Structure 1
C-alpha cells in the first residue's frame, strides 16, 4: 500500500466551515478567511483577489511556519508579539509581504533593545529602518570597548572589521584597545586570520599611544616575531618622537598613524565678559583634536554671569546679565543649531548658580537689580514652568553649585559683606536645606564640579586675592581635603568633565580675562595645559554634551590638521 505524507494543518478553530482559504508556509498549512488576509496587506490582497475562483490553497515562499503563524495571528487580532527569538525572521517576512505595521513593530523592538551584544547584527540587517541602522552604527562606534566582547564581533569579516577600525567615528579611550580587539578577532580563528595581522595593526593609530605603550607592544609575542609588524611599530615610535620634539610640541597629524578620532563628548563655552563688554561668543572644544571652534550666532543676545546645563538635546542658558540682571532663559538645540525661548524665572538672577537633578533645572541665589538673593527655584522642561522651592539658609551670589546623590550642593558666594566659606545642600525628598562643613577659605566666583565621585571647589576670590587653590568634599565624612592647585588663578571661569578629566577654561586671573585652558586628571594627580580658547572671557558658562549623534558637526575637520613630514 502506498502512503502519502500529508502537510500538518493548523486551524483557527477545530471546525469552522466559513474558512475559505489555506495558506502554506514551510511544512504547515493554515486555514484562514480570505477577507481577513486581504485586509492584512496589499500583498495578500493582490494574491488572493487575483485567484478568486476555485483556488483555495496558496504557498508563501521563503516564509517559515513560525513567522506565518505570528502574521496570521496579527491579521485576526491586530496585535503582534515580537520577541528576541523571532524579530529578525519576522521583519524579513513582514517586509516581503508588505505588512507595514509588523515592520514598524519589529523596528521599534530592535531600537528599544539595542545592546553592544547585538548592534552588529542589527546594523547588518539591511531591511531595518534607516533610523534603527543609524542607532546601531552609533552604538557600535561609541560602545566599541564593550562590542569587542560580543560573539557577533568575532564573526565579523575582514572587510567589516577594517571598515570599523578605519573610521574616525570609532570611540576608544586608548588606541592600544584597537590592537587588543584585533588580537581577539584573530584568536577566534588563528589559522585563517593570522596572516591579516600586518594589515590590521596600522588601523590602531599607534603614534597616539604613549612611548611606553609602543615599546611594550614591541615585546608582544604576537608582534615581535613578525618583521612587518616590527617595522610598523618602529615607524610609530619615530613619528611619536617627531611629534614630541616639534616646536611647539604637537599631539597629532592628519595622517592615519597620528590622526585623532572624533570625540564622544564636546565642551560648549557660551557667553561671558570680554574686556569691557558682555559677549555672545560661543565656542566648542574638540578634546581629541585639542581645538576650539567658533559657533557664535551673532543674532543671539549677549549674556554673562549666567548658568548652563544640558538636558534632552538642549543647552539651557539661565539668567545672568544681558545689559542688566535678567530672568530670561534661552535654550540651544544641539542637533539643529538654533536658539529658542523658554519660560523666564520668577526672579532676575545675575551671578546665578545652576544645577540639573532628576530632570529639573535648579536656579539658586544670584543678584537682581538691587539685592543679593537666597531664594531658589526649579524648572520642569516638560511643562516649561518654574516653581519656587525652600530658600537657602544664606544669601549667596556668585556661589558654586553641583548635584550629587539626589542632593543639590551650593558652596561659597558673596552676600554683600561676607565671602562665604559656608556650604549647604538641598534635599529633594524633604524640600529643605542642610548646612555642611565649611570650606577652608571663603570663595566667590568659584566653580563647584562633580568629578571622580567627589565635589571639587575650585578657584574664586576670597575678598583679598584671586585663588588657584582646589579642595574636595567627601559627603560620607563631611570633610574637605586639599588637592594640587590649578596652574593659574581663576575666578568666573568655565568647567566641564569629559574623557575622565576635569577642564577649567577662561575666567579672570586677577589682572585680565584669559583664554587659557587646563585639565586635571585624578590618575596622575596633575594639572596639564590644553588648547586655548579663541576669545578671552570671564563670566562664561560651560557644559559637556556626550553620546550625542549630532556632535560631528562641532568637530575640527581631521583633514585640516597638520600634514606629516617625512620620518
Structure 2
C-alpha cells in the first residue's frame, strides 16, 4: 500500500528568523523539489532579541537563551508544525553554543550578561548544561569549558560539539583562535592543539559529514576536519562585514543567508560552490522575511507535505515574483 500523501515528507531548507526590534520567531521553508518558499507556524508570543543559540535533530529545531530571554528553551516540531515551550535552563545564557544528539540538547558557555570587572565587559561562562527530555529538566554537568567564551561559531560532528574562536568579554574585544571540543559520550571538554588561522568571533559553521566549514564575518571560509585536516582558509572573500547571518551546507554548496545589515541586505542568499571555489549571489530569490536586524538559523530537514499543501492555496493568490522564488 502506498503511503498517504499527507504522511509523506519533503526535503526542505528551513530558515528561522528572530529580531531584536520585533517580537516572536518566524519560520519558513524552501521546498528543494518545488523550488518554492512556504511559511510555517510562527511563535509570536515571545520576546525578540539577539544572541540566541539553535540546533536541530532529525525532526525538531531547538532554540535557547538570547539577551531578552536568557533562560528560555523552545522546540519547533517539523512533524506537527508547532512550537512548544520547555523547561528553562539553569543559568542565564546568550551568545552561547549548542548541540544535539538523539534529542538530548547541550548548551555550552556564552554570557550571562553580567558585568565582569576583571575583563571590563560581559562575563563569559564555562559551564555546560544538558536537557533530559524524559524528565523535561536541565542538568548542569561537572565538565566545563577550558576557556570561558561567548560568540563562538559552533557545530556538531557525530558525538562531538566544536566551538571555534569566540570572545573573552573584554571591552576592547579579545578574540580567540582556539578550538574547544566537547565529547558528548565522555562528557569531557578539551582544547585542540590546532588553532584557527585567524581570530574569530560571530562566525557561523555548517557541516558535511566530518567536514566543518566556518564562515567568518568578513566572508572568508575556514575548512576543518578533525580526522584529516587542520583548520585552513578554504575560500578568501572580499565581501563586506556580515552580521546576524547563518550558513548551511547543501548539494556541494554553502549557502550564506542574511547579513549585510549596514546596507540593508538582511534577506540576501549567497552561495559558495566548494568544488569550484566561487562565490555568487542567488539573484532569483530573497529570504521571505522583512528587512530588519535579523538573526537566522538554517537547516536541511524533512517537512510533512500537508503543511506545504496548505501553503500552495494561499500562494496561488500571490503575484509572481513575490511568493514564487527560486534558489
Q: Does 1:401 align with 2:271?
A: no
Query: Secondary structure at 1:552's aligned position in 2?
Result: helix
1:416-443 Cα offsets, whole Å, 9 max, x none, are 1311111111122332222221111111
- Aligned mate of 1:316, from 50, 55, 62: 62
Of stretches 398-407 and 336-345 in structure 1, the one that deviates more from structure 2 is: 336-345
Structure 2 counterpart of 1:172: none
Contact 2:221 2:236 in 1 (8 A): yes
Higher-helix-fraction structure? 1
RMSD between aligned alpha carbons?
3.0
Q: Aligned equivalents of 2:279 and 2:311: distance in 1?
A: 24
C-alpha contact 1:401 1:411 (8 A) present in aligned 2: yes
1:392 offset after TM fit, Å? 0.6
Report 1:79-478 matches (<5 A): 122-123=1-2, 133-134=3-4, 138=8, 264-273=11-20, 277-288=21-32, 289=35, 291=37, 293=39, 295-311=41-57, 313-322=59-68, 326-370=70-114, 371-389=123-141, 390-417=143-170, 418-436=174-192, 437-451=194-208, 453-460=210-217, 467-478=218-229
Distance 1:438 1:354 in 2: 21
Structure 2 gap segments, 5+ residues each: 115-122, 322-327
Which residue does 2:233 correspond to in 1?
Answer: 482
CA offsets, 1:54-84, max 9 Å, x none?
xxxxxxxxxxxxxxxxxxxxxxxxxxxxxxx
SS of equivalent to 2:308: helix
Q: Deviations over 1:163-197 (max 9, x none)?
A: xxxxxxxxxxxxxxxxxxxxxxxxxxxxxxxxxxx
- TM-score when normalising by structure 2: 0.79
Query: Of residues 272, 277, 295 in structure 2, which corresponds to 1:540?
Result: 295
Alpha carbons 1:409, 1:426 under 8 Å: kept: yes
Deviation at 1:510, TM superposition (A): 5.5
**Residue number in structure 2 paired with 1:169:** none
Where 2:177 maps in the other structure, the secondary structure is coil
How many angstroms apart in 2 are the aligned matches of 1:333 and 1:283?
A: 11
Which residue of 1 is the match for residue 278 of structure 2?
526
Structure showing greater Rg: 1
Distance in 1 between residues matched to 2:206 and 2:300, nearest whole Å: 15
Q: Distance in 2 between matches of 1:470 and 1:305?
A: 22
**TM-score of the superposition, structure 1-length normalised?**
0.48
Which protein has greater RCO, CA pairs closer than 8 Å, 6+ apart?
2
Could you say what secondary structure the match of 2:149 adopts?
coil
Query: Contact 2:252 / 2:275 at 8 angstroms: preserved in 1?
Result: no
Contact 2:56 2:62 in 1 (8 A): yes
8 A Cα contact 2:257 2:269, kept in partner: yes
Alpha-carbon distance in structure 2 between the residues aligned to 1:306 and 1:521: 28
Contact 1:400 1:448 in 2 (8 A): yes
Point out the more displaced range, 294-303 or 550-559.
550-559
- Work out the CA distance in 2 between the residues paired with 1:341 and 1:391: 26
Report the Cα distance in structure 2 between the residues aligned to 1:454 and 1:499, rounded to whole angstroms: 14
Write the distance in 1 (CA, Å) between the matches of 2:262 and 2:297: 21
Distance 1:495 1:519 in 2: 9
Aligned residues of 1:307 and 1:319 also touching (Cα < 8 A): yes
CA distance in 1, matches of 2:310, 2:240: 28
Aligned counterparts of 2:224 and 2:58: Cα–Cα separation in 1: 29
SS where residue 221 of structure 2 aligns?
Answer: strand
| Deviation by residue 1:489-516 (Cα, 9 ceiling, x = unmatched) | 3133122334553222223555666221
CA distance in 1, matches of 2:27, 2:39: 5
Alpha-carbon distance between aligned partners in 1 of 2:81 and 2:160, rounded to the nearest angstrom:
32
Distance 1:295 1:136 in 2: 18
Identify, as 1 or 2, the structure richer in strand. Answer: 2
Q: In the aligned structure 2, how far is the partner of 1:485 from the partner of 1:287? A: 30
Count of paired positions: 299
Contact 1:306 1:541 in 2 (8 A): no
Q: Give structure 1 stretches of 5+ with no counterpart.
A: 1-121, 124-132, 143-262, 461-466
CA, structure 1 residues 548+358, in 2 after alignment: closer, same or farther (shift >3 Å)? same
Give secondary structure in 1 for the equivalent of 2:196: coil
CA distance in 2, matches of 1:296, 1:478: 40
| Structure 2 contact 57–101 (Cα < 8 Å) conserved | no
CA gap 1:343/1:392 in 2 versus in 1, 3 angstroms: same
C-alpha distance 278-507 of structure 1, shift in aligned 2 (>3 A): farther
Q: Is the 8 A contact 1:279 1:304 kept in 2?
A: no
